[in-house]
């Protein structure tokens, strides 16, 4: 198990380029199964989850070729079987995204329960209810067995705006007979990336970026070349890191059009940045103070489906708030176990009251002390890295596999910015 050894209290400085969006890369990789022609994916991030997903495609019969620089060629002339390898399914939650393409291409899929971050109950009911409306028979007996003699377009209302359920239904519906309408659809930038890629492959999807998608099924999709968009979760993490270490940072290809709500949230903590084209610049020496609501009331940062504040950044904002003067409420509405990592921050000296599984009141600034930490999931792990980099002394973070599932070459990139981080294999 690898670990990071981090010496804190040193500002970061420099320039980085945003990585490809993990949450766009995974469904786009799955979508390669929808055609027997070659698909070229560019700007895939060099992270564990992408490697696992490409490995699953290889197991299913895809020919996967790395071209270097985040470019891969994928061609699936024939699909070998319809069962996702159990060990790989457990390694990554995105294995569920293979259900839609396999149903569309073969009419059958056997899916072991998917793995992923332990951040609360992550129900699959929305996926299966929508599949059922498209004509899929669902059987549950230790594994999920899905069978479809024919996929038929239908008007579907999702019971929650689930990103992965929306993506799964899209991938099944593009090869269904007739028109499908997906209402209460997720509309995050990664969902938009998937839709745009599928349209380049010959799909008929309209309403992209809205909560109602119209999909006119086609008989066949062809190959294409597609570049994954920038990871706004990674960008948000680096913004927070620069601010709390009192550093100065330029992030290239930051896709500022996807940071509007994130900008409002950081603004509540006195954190600002400048935009130049597709790049952003976070200046050093910002006055980190909570901006009260009207009447001097305590403000809050709360997550919501897009275009609301991204839930994956609530862990980051919690640790950032510990270094800001004033009090703020962090309200994580969507996952009931995501906030439990704050006990580690409290142990480092953070002043946080965990009100319940969803709400934490943070008062700052607090002098954080170095500690031994274990990363529980991707985003909480990155939050711990940020905490260690602004803490006094040397911290150790174990189980960094969880962090590296979502952050590309993190140790090397932090070192390039002057952070004192070492990765040790043990």
Q: Rounded distance, CA 69 to CA 48, Å?
A: 16
Marked catalytic residue, from 46, 63, 117, 425: 117
Q: Rounded distance, CA 354 to CA 362, Å?
A: 9
> Which secondary structure element, helix H or strand E, spans residue 50, and what is its range?
helix 48-59
SS3 of residue 326 by DSSP = strand
Residue with tokens 């176990």: 337
Q: Rounded distance, CA 121 to CA 372, Å?
A: 27
Cis peptide before 307 (omega within 30 of 0): yes
- Helix, strand, coil fractions of the chain, as percent rounded to 5: 35, 30, 35
**Is there a catalytic annotation at residue 117?**
yes
Question: Which residues are within 8 A (CB) of 151 and not within 5 positions of it... i.e. 6 or more apart?
Answer: 103, 104, 134, 135, 136, 172, 173, 175, 176, 177, 217
Rg (CA), the chain: 22
Burial of 172 (0-12, 13-18, 19+ CB in 10 A): buried
Question: What positions carry a catalytic annotation?
Answer: 117
């Amino acid at each position: 198990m690898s670990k990071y050894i981090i010496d804190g209290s040193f500002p970061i400085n420099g320039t980085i380029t945003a990585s490809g969006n993990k949450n766009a890369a995974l469904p786009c990789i799955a979508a390669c199964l929808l055609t027997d022609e070659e698909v070229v994916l560019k700007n895939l991030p060099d992270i564990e989850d992408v490697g696992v997903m490409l490995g699953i495609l290889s197991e299913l019969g895809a020919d996967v070729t790395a071209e270097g620089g985040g470019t891969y060629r994928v061609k699936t002339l024939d699909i070998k079987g319809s069962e996702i390898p159990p060990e790989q399914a457990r390694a990554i939650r995105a294995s569920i995204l293979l259900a839609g393409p396999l149903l569309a291409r073969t009419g059958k899929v056997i899916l072991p329960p998917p793995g992923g971050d332990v951040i609360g109950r992550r129900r699959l009911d929305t996926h299966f209810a929508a599949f059922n409306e498209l004509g899929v028979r669902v059987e549950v007996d230790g594994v999920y067995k899905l069978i479809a003699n024919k996929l038929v377009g239908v008007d579907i209302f999702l019971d929650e705006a689930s990103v992965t359920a929306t993506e799964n239904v899209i991938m099944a519906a593009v090869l269904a007979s007739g028109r499908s309408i997906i209402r209460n659809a997720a509309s995050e930038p990664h969902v938009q990336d998937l839709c745009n890629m599928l349209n380049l492959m010959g799909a008929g999807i309209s309403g992209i970026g809205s909560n109602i998608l119209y999909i006119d099924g086609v008989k066949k999709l062809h190959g294409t070349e597609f570049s994954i968009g920038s990871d706004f979760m990674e960008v948000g993490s680096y913004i927070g890191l620069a601010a709390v270490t009192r550093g100065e940072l330029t992030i290239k290809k930051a896709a500022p059009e996807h940071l509007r709500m994130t900008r409002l949230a950081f603004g509540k903590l006195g954190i600002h940045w400048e935009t130049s084209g597709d790049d952003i610049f976070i200046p050093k020496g910002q006055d980190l103070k909570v901006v009260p609501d009207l009447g001097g009331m305590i403000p809050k940062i709360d997550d919501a489906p897009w275009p609301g504040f991204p839930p994956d950044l609530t862990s980051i904002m919690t640790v950032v708030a510990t270094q800001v003067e004033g009090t703020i409420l962090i309200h994580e509405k969507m996952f009931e176990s995501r906030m439990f990592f704050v006990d580690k921050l409290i142990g480092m000296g953070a002043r946080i009251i965990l009100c319940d599984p969803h709400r934490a009141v943070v008062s700052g600034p607090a002098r954080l002390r170095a500690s031994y930490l274990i990363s529980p999931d991707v985003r909480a792990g990155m939050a711990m890295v940020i905490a260690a980099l602004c803490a006094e002394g040397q911290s150790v973070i174990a189980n960094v596999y969880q962090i590296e599932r979502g952050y590309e070459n993190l140790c090397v990139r932090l070192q390039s910015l002057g952070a004192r981080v070492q990765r040790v294999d043990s």
